[in-house]
Amino acid sequence: MTVYTATSLKAELNDRGWRLTPQREVILHVFQELPKGEHLSAEDLYHHLEAQGEGISLSTIYRTLKLMARMGILRELELGEGHKHYEINQPYPYHHHHLICVRCNKTIEFKNDSILKIGTKTAQKEGYHLLDCQLTIHAVCPSCQRALLPL
């Protein structure tokens, strides 16, 4: 859970024998500038970049999202829409969690300092190197409670 710049990303990639490409740099930048509370799917990112004139192929997008998630740069979220969503993975003051309605998928972000502490301690206890730690609450939102019956 570090804050990345193009430079530190390049350093970390090169350390492992990998390369910083314009595509990777652009994708990192999109997530860094993404407004708080927004989450992008692979397809979302593809269209976002296309609209910016920065066309990047969908396969590169999938490869990059997976790479950055495994490096701990991005968080991979399951928001109930049938495909993954991503957001930048930031430490303490920005670290947050998600409350999701299982019926309409409306998602609310919330913060809680003790969760990251629990995650850090648990990973450490087992000798794991922590990348991300997210509390996901599945629930039924007020408006879906009123609209009874349908699943």
**Is position 82 an interface residue for DNA (rule: CB under 7 A)?**
yes
Closest CA to 23 of 62, 54, 1: 54
Task: List Cα–Cα distances, 43 to 1, 52, 72, 106, in angstroms.
Answer: 25, 14, 21, 19
- Cα 59 to chain center, whole Å? 18
Cβ neighbors of 85 (< 8 A, separation 6 or more) are 39, 40, 41, 44, 76, 77, 78, 79
Q: What's 104's DSSP letter?
A: T
Contact between residue 106 and residue 96 where contact means Cβ atoms under 8 Å apart: no
**Is position 141 an interface residue for Zn ion (rule: CB under 5 A)?**
yes
Among 2, 57, 112, 122, binds DNA (CB under 7 A): 57
Sign for the CA dihedral angle at 74, 37, 116, 80 comes to: negative
**Is position 8 an interface residue for its own copies (rule: CB under 8 A)?**
no
Among 11, 104, 137, 147, binds Zn ion (CB under 5 A): 104
Stretch that binds DNA, among 51-59, 101-109, 112-120, 125-133 (CB under 7 A): 51-59
104 binds, among Zn ion, DNA, its own copies, none (CB under 5 to 8 A by kind): Zn ion
**Is position 59 an interface residue for DNA (rule: CB under 7 A)?**
yes
User: Could you give the CA distance from residue 128 to residue 121 in angstroms, rounded to a whole number?
Assistant: 10
**CB of 30 or CB of 141, closer to Zn ion:** 141
Among 39, 66, 103, 106, binds DNA (CB under 7 A): 66
**Is position 103 an interface residue for DNA (rule: CB under 7 A)?**
no
Binding site for its own copies (CB under 8 A): 16-17, 67, 69-70, 72, 76, 78, 99, 101-103, 108, 110, 112, 114-115, 118-119, 122-123, 126-142, 145, 148-149, 151
